[in-house]
Chains A and B, each alone.
Chain A
Amino acid sequence: MFLTRHRQSPQARSRGSRPRTTPLGVAALIVLSGALAATPTIAADLSGSSTRVEASSTTPLVAPAAISTGSARLLASNCFQCHGTYGSGGFERIAGESATELYSELKEFAASTGTDNIMAAHAAGYTDAQLRAIAAYLATVGK
C-alpha cells in the first residue's frame, strides 16, 4: 500500500570532513567552476581580492533531446532551485558531471543522516532509482 523504501542504514564512517575535500588549489578550481558556469552564479575568489568571477562566454546549456521527456528530467529539475536552471551554478554547478560521480555524491549525502547539512536532508528523500535517474540526466546536460 504505502511506499516501500529499502533504505540502507547510515554507513559507519566518520564524516568529520568530506572525503574529497581538496585543500590545495581550491582557489584555482573555484575560478574554473565559475568560468564554466553558464548562468551567473555566486562565484567566488578565495583570495578575496577580486569581488566576482564572471561567467565568460560559454556554451549555453541545452538538455539532450533523447532524454528530454519523462520523469528523469522532472526529478532532476528539483535540483535547479539551488543549483540553477539545468544545474548551471548556484551552490555548485552539477550539469555535465559524470553520472558515476554525481550518483556517488548523492548516495554519500543520502547516507549521512547525522550531519547538519541541507543537501543530506534532500538526498535522503529520494529512492536509489531516483538518484540514479537524476545523476544520469544531469550528466547528459550540455553534452
Chain B
Amino acid sequence: MLRRDFLGMVAVGALGAVTLPAWLHLAEPEPAHAESLVPVPTDSSLKGKRVVVVGGGMAGTAAAKYLRLWGGTGLAVTLIEQTPSYTSNIMSNMVLVGERTLSSLDYTYNTLKSWYGVTVVQGRVAAVDPAARRVTLANGSVYSGDALVLAPGLEFGALPGHYDVALTPHAWQAGPQTAQLAAQLAAIPSGSDVVITVPKAPYRCPPGPYERACVVADWLKANRPSSRLYLLDANPSILVEQANFTDAFAGRNASGYTVTYRHDVVISDLDSTAKTVTYTYRDDSGASHAVTAQRAGVLNPIPPMQAPAILRNAGLCATNSANGMQYAPVQPLTFESSLPTSATNAAPKYPGVHIIGDSSAVPAEWYPGYPGVATVGIPGVPKAGHIGNQEGKTAASAIVRRLRGDTTLAAETDLVLNSACYTPITRGNATSPGTATWLSAVYEYDAATKKMYATQGQPRAAASATTRNFSEMLVWFTTVMSDTFA
C-alpha cells in the first residue's frame, strides 16, 4: 500500500520544485504487455452460449472483455463495432488546444481479439430485433445471441435555425470533428470570440462542456488575448463542480483567463455559415435578456444527444422529460431493458437485452437530504466513460451468472456504481502538467425503489484545481483505458 503515499510525497515536493519527478513524464497510454495480462480462465461450462455486443466504446468493450474473463473460454463473445479503432472522448479537449495528438487517443481491439478471444466484427449495425435478440448489419449479415448487449453511445441532434454540423463541428464524439475544431481554433482571427453552447441535461459527461470552456479560454489567454470565450448553457446553472468552475470562470485559475458564462439559454437561431447565435438567457437575478446574432470566430455548438436510431427504432427507448431526448430505460442490477411486457404485465418485455453506457437511462436519485438536491445537479447516473465501463462489468456479471443458472442472482441487490471524472482547468501535458480538478460520485442500489441513489455526501469534488490532480488525471486515464481495452 505504498503508491498512494508516494503520490502524496511527490505532490508535496513538487509544489515548491521546478523540476518534476521522472514518473510524471510516463503517464501516457502504454501498449499492454500481453504476457502480463489476466488470462481468460479455461472453463467450458458455457460452451455453446454466445453473447453479442454492439458498440466497442467505453461500455461495450469493457462488457466484452469481462464477459470472457468471467464467462471463461466456453462463452463465445462477438463485438460488433463500426470503426476499426476507438478514439477516446476522454482527454479529447486537450487535442483542441494542442496538448495531445488525436492518435494518442486511439485504442485498437487487438488485445480484445488476441488475448481475450473476443470475435471482433467490423461493421455497422443497421437494425436491432430485441425480441429475437438479433442484429442485422448494413451489409446484411445477422448475429444473434443468448444475450444482447447494446452499447452504441449517442446520436447527435440538430439546433434551431441554420445549423450545419459539417461547418460547426461539436467534437463531442472524438475523431475527425476533433481535428476539424482544433484547426478552426488554431486559425481563429485575433479579437474574434469563441462561443460554445451546452444542451439541456442529460448529455454526455456533465463536467465536459465546462472543462472545454476552461482549456480553450486558457489557450485564448495565451494566444489570442483580445478574444473572449462565451459559454451559453441551456441549463439553469453550472451542473457539477459549481465552486471549481465558478472560480475558474472568474479568473481564479492558474493562468487568469475568464469565461463569460450564461445560463437558461434558449437558442432561436444558430447559423453555422454566418457563425452567429440568436438567443435569450437569464442573468443571476432572473431577468431575461435577448441577444441577436452574436458573432463568433469559432462557433462550437454541442447539440442535444440521444440513444441512436437503431435503439429508438427497435422500440427500446423512452422520452426523457427534462430534455425531450430518448434513452433506453434499464433496470440497474443487470442493465436489462426495463420496458414492461404490457401495461398490465410488468415482466420485462425483452429479457436478455442489456443496454449500457450513454444510450441507457438508469433510474437514479440523489441521496435524500443531499444539500442542494432540489436546485442543483442532474439526478441520475451520469453519461460517462468511467461509470460506463462499470455498467459493462455489471451487465457481464449478470449475463454470466444467468447463463450459469446461478440461482442466487435473483436475490442479489448489492450493487454499487462508481463515477469519476478528472477535469483539466488549465492546459498541460505529461511533461508540463497544468491544473485539474476531479468529481466523484458513488451510486448504490435501493431494492425498495429499484433505483440507484447517490450515497450520502456524494458527489464530491476536488477542493481546488491543482497540478497534483493533473498528474493523477493522467494515471487515471491510462488505467481506465487499459481496464477497458487491454
Contacts and interface: CB of A to CB of B under 8 A. Distances in A.
Interface of A: 1-3, 5, 7, 17-18, 20-23, 26, 29-30, 33, 37-46, 48-52, 55, 57-58, 60-62, 65, 68-71, 73-75, 77-78, 80-86, 88-94, 97, 101-102, 105, 113, 116, 118-119, 121-122, 124-127, 130, 133
A129 B128 CA distance: 40
Given A48-B22, A74-B415, 5 more contacts: A2-B368, A20-B1, A81-B479, A82-B480, A124-B455
Interface in B21-71: 21-23, 25-27, 30-33, 35-39, 41, 66, 69-70
A127 B406 CA distance: 25
B5 A21 contact: yes
A23 B9 contact: yes
Contacts of B462: 116, 118
B408 interface: yes
A81 B417 contact: no
Contacts of B467: none
A23 B12 CA distance: 13
A94 B448 CA distance: 33
B3 A74 contact: no
Interface of B: 1-9, 21-23, 25-27, 30-33, 35-39, 41, 66, 69-70, 367-368, 386, 389-390, 393-394, 397, 400-401, 404, 406, 408, 412, 414-418, 420, 438, 440-444, 446, 448-449, 453, 455-460, 462-464, 472, 474-476, 478-480, 482-483, 486
Contacts of A49: 22
A42 B26 contact: yes
Please give me the 8 A-B residue pairs with the lowest Cβ-Cβ distance, nearest first: A125-B442, A92-B3, A44-B23, A90-B479, A121-B460, A71-B414, A48-B22, A116-B463
Contacts of A89: 479
Contact of A126 (B39, B416, B438): B416
B116 to A, nearest CB: 10
Contacts of A88: 38
Contact of B449 (A1, A42, A50): A1
Contact of A21 (B8, B38, B476): B8
B393 A77 contact: yes
Contacts of A84: 479, 482-483
Contacts of B463: 116
Contact of A75 (B6, B70, B416): B416
B440 A122 contact: yes
Nearest to B398: A74
B5 A3 contact: no
A7 B23 CA distance: 37
Contact of B446 (A2, A101, A118): A2
Contact of A40 (B36, B66, B443): B36
29 contacts: A1-B449, A2-B446, A3-B367, A3-B444, A26-B9, A30-B2, A30-B3, A40-B30, A42-B27, A50-B22, A51-B22, A71-B414, A74-B393, A74-B394, A74-B415, A75-B414, A81-B386, A81-B389, A81-B476, A82-B475, A84-B483, A86-B38, A92-B4, A121-B440, A121-B460, A122-B420, A125-B416, A126-B416, A130-B414
B472 A91 contact: yes
Given A7-B456, A62-B41, A125-B444, A40 B482 contact: yes
Given A18-B4, A39-B38, A62-B41, A3 B483 contact: no
Nearest to B442: A125
B4 A51 contact: no
A110 to B, nearest CB: 10
Contacts of B406: 69
B442 A126 contact: yes
Contact of B37 (A39, A51, A74): A39
B4 A91 contact: yes
A42 B420 contact: no
A28 B236 CA distance: 52
Nearest to B27: A42
Contacts of B417: 78
Contacts of A42: 23, 26-27, 30, 474-475, 478-479
Nearest to A73: B397
A70 B408 contact: yes
A61 B414 contact: no
B479 A83 contact: yes
Nearest to B69: A85
Q: Which of B36, B37, B446, B457 has the most CB of A within 10 A?
A: B36
B257 to A, nearest CB: 23
Contact of A20 (B3, B5, B483): B5
Contacts of B486: 39
Contacts of A52: 26
Nearest to A17: B8
Contact of B479 (A18, A60, A61, A91): A91
Given A51-B26, A118-B420, A18 B472 contact: no
Contacts of B464: 116
Contacts of A83: 479
